[in-house]
A and B are shown apart, each in its own frame.
Chain A
């Protein structure tokens, strides 16, 4: 009995001590945070993570975002329409201002004078030449496509870059998405392997407005203003990126004010944030730089196609057309993306209107009856009455193997809808969901009929166009599509000498892909963002939003327009770190725990004494 009493007493004392210390620390925390002058901090939450800050090995979106903040390009992307604007360069070189030679083979690019690196060293044309030559010599294939037909790139002096090409092309004005690196820092790496092993932290020598100063892996990373930044000085002092393991916590933190900006919010949660303007949360529908597609196996004519198991019906463009007609893209966007997307058309996203071709009258309609009619007219009838059409003449049934990726819930949903629609036009599907690894296997082995995947191509269309050339079969080609005219046009667009000339060719190429239907572009999905508008203002959207105010990115842009311009809303107390002590729930739990322990002990004691008496 004594022992029981002691236990109860001890627990109570312990509970009180815990309570006192928690409350006192909470009070202390609040006191200290208002006392010190904290740097003006902007906090961003996302569910992606970074594994490296090395600009030559970066892959993930947040890694590119950091690269954009730490480094500069020779030519940047304009805020309104993503066209080339001078960044490190002083002006756009043309034939008129002497930037381009008469024969179109020599570009003379003037560099802004007086630029500095973060360690004070001057940023000159030598660094530009060094960077581009490094890419070419060590074959960093992620970037070499930006330097086509290069003959030589040299620095004539500190502010002049000479870029010679073997054929007339507009290579410098694409513009090349290659961050300029300081020669005096990167020359310490003796070869490509050494470069690849470097994770970019700490103490990189950078040129952009911010630089990484702290990195807690898998938690957060901090960037502070670069004192030697030569552009628009930002108002904020610091940016912190936080990585979350799930989106719900991120959104909750936005609502509670623990973060200022939430990136890539999923549709359901985004919808729950609508109408919270008066609580200080503004949502933004970012433009689409990615698309999802459904690809057909088109490996028939080329030499590498011997092992392809694609269904013979897919050779016929009428079959592909019927399938495309059965797909109701409006429904896909409505039901899967919650309306935050655009029905797909061509492989070049409409967010780059300069390059995008609008099918207009040639748009493939969504029409189940028409699809049925088309198949009937071409002889694909159901010869054995089982609901599935057969090849003309009563041959093989039209059953397609349809692969979707488990990593993409949207893709799985699209698969379900499309399978349902195909059934309505008499085409059977054997749908399976597999991991990326398995799909890659099937892809390389040409062992599939249909699959759903997606792309997030560069703003410049060169790469995505290249994936439809014949030679990319077995490498990057989604379908092993092969068309001679298309291949020729690809070379032509690379050799174009003015952007307008190039745009015309690019549009022709899109028309070929759209009418030949090696794949159906299902949708362009928006990137959904949300931020605390009661605390921050000054976001610069890129590109210019449309009439509905949609389509521009507030952050995760091609450039640092927002970072340089955001500032706190006066009187909101934004940007100073806040903290909270233990929550109400914890207190209740502690009290409840004590009560339970006391209760049990009392019960046991009472029973015990009953027993002894028995």
Chain B
């Protein structure tokens, strides 16, 4: 698995460090905070709109989400081989725009239905990864000391665990399925997120206003909730998008190795059945290319969005 190149950092201007100059009629601290945040968000969005790469990525993603939603509501009969089937390994035609596989099932239907599975698995696995990673990172960075050392050793260990072994063993116990894949990705991808979050928390902790808040008697929950979390969120967000990209690629690889559910194909599953159906030797390009192209587009979109966010959040990458 590859890890994305992330440079940690944070722009204090975006995270509400200074008092707003001209905001009439604000009395409560909460409303001040909310106004600050709204401003920060609109600023981010405005910056984001400027990025061509970011917008392109967003567009592609929206398209595929639409396809996935369509897949959820459309009939799955096309996948039932006892109901609908055409000639085996037929090249694209009017009736079957992407041809058929070696069972006679339409490849187009498989690709459409696969979208919802690939996206879902990627999303759920990422949520798991980020939750675990952020939790560990925040606790380690904030508490420091023994907690930090222990958690960082644990993170080192997590980096080294052979995810493939874990994957295949879980598949043996639970059986090959999407749950297995989600668990595997979630349980093995969190270390880089944890490290990232931890270093961000560390840098936030050193900031003067944070020390002042502590001196003023701010309790731990307050500190984490009001100071640490909002400052860490942008970094987590940028990282999250890239984590989803990697999760989708990982799911594809695991499905390819036969650990996915053979009864509900993700895009990786379609590629796997193409490979085992000797599509490469038989020249069935219509079976191999479409699912891969979809994967590339979706992962690309997440990567582009992630990079665009990263450029906004890390000012060093911006033009001077």
Contact = CB atoms under 8 A, between A and B. Distances in A.
Interface of A: 247-248, 251-252, 266, 268-269, 272, 335, 338, 406, 409, 412-413, 415-417, 420-421, 423-424, 431-435, 437-438
Contacts of B102: 268
A256 B280 CA distance: 18
Nearest to A368: B82
Interface string B248-284: 0000000000100111000000000100111011100
B278 A406 contact: no
A432 B281 contact: no
Given A409-B276, A413-B103, A420-B81, A268 B175 contact: no
B278 A266 contact: yes
Contact of A248 (B175, B261, B273, B278): B278
B81 A432 contact: no
B258 A420 contact: no
A435 B276 contact: no
A400 to B, nearest CB: 15
Nearest to B77: A420
A269 B172 contact: no
Contacts of B175: 432-435, 438
A251 B88 contact: no
- Interface SS majority for chain A: helix
Contacts of A268: 89, 102, 277-278, 282
Contacts of A415: 263
A542 to B, nearest CB: 29
B302 to A, nearest CB: 30
A412 B277 contact: no
Contacts of B104: 335
A438 B174 CA distance: 9
Interface string B67-110: 00000000000001111010011000000000000111000000
A247 B177 CA distance: 27
A248 B82 contact: no
A271 to B, nearest CB: 9
B261 A433 contact: yes
Most buried by A among B171, B258, B278: B278
Interface string B168-180: 0001110111000
A351 to B, nearest CB: 27
A417 B82 contact: yes
Interface string B21-59: 000000000000000000000000000000000000000
B282 A421 contact: no
B89 A420 contact: no
Contacts of B172: 435, 437-438
A528 to B, nearest CB: 13
Nearest to B173: A438
A420 B262 contact: no
A251 B277 CA distance: 14
Contact of B262 (A251, A335, A406, A437): A406
A252 B278 contact: no
21 contacts: A247-B278, A251-B281, A252-B281, A266-B278, A268-B102, A268-B277, A268-B278, A269-B278, A269-B281, A338-B88, A406-B258, A409-B276, A413-B103, A416-B81, A417-B81, A417-B82, A420-B80, A424-B82, A431-B263, A434-B175, A438-B175
Most buried by B among A269, A272, A435: A435
Contacts of B89: 268
Interface in B148-181: 171-173, 175-177
Contacts of A432: 175, 177, 263
Contacts of A437: 172
Q: Which 7 pairs, one residue from A and one from B, show the smallest C-beta to C-beta distance?
A: A420-B82, A248-B281, A433-B262, A434-B175, A412-B262, A420-B80, A268-B278
B258 A421 contact: no
Contacts of A420: 80-83
Nearest to A267: B102
B103 A335 contact: yes
Contacts of A434: 175-176
A335 B88 contact: yes
Contacts of B258: 406
Nearest to A247: B278
A435 B176 CA distance: 8
A252 B83 CA distance: 36
Contacts of A247: 278
B124 to A, nearest CB: 20
Contacts of A424: 82
Contacts of A421: 82
Given A335-B104, A438-B172, 20 more contacts: A247-B278, A252-B281, A266-B278, A268-B102, A268-B277, A269-B278, A269-B282, A406-B262, A409-B276, A409-B277, A412-B262, A416-B81, A416-B82, A420-B80, A424-B82, A433-B176, A433-B262, A435-B171, A435-B175, A437-B172
A339 to B, nearest CB: 11
A413 B82 CA distance: 11
B223 to A, nearest CB: 48
Nearest to B259: A406
Contacts of A431: 263
Contacts of B282: 268-269, 272
A417 B177 CA distance: 20
B84 to A, nearest CB: 10
Interface in B271-320: 273, 276-278, 280-282
B280 to A, nearest CB: 7
A432 B260 CA distance: 11
Contacts of A269: 278, 281-282
A482 to B, nearest CB: 29
A67 B273 CA distance: 36
B267 to A, nearest CB: 18
B278 to A, nearest CB: 5
A416 B83 CA distance: 11
A157 B83 CA distance: 69
B263 A433 contact: yes
A30 B35 CA distance: 83
B270 to A, nearest CB: 14
Interface in B169-220: 171-173, 175-177
B78 to A, nearest CB: 12
Nearest to A326: B82
Contacts of A338: 88
Contacts of A413: 81, 103
A469 to B, nearest CB: 31
Contacts of A251: 281
A269 B279 CA distance: 10
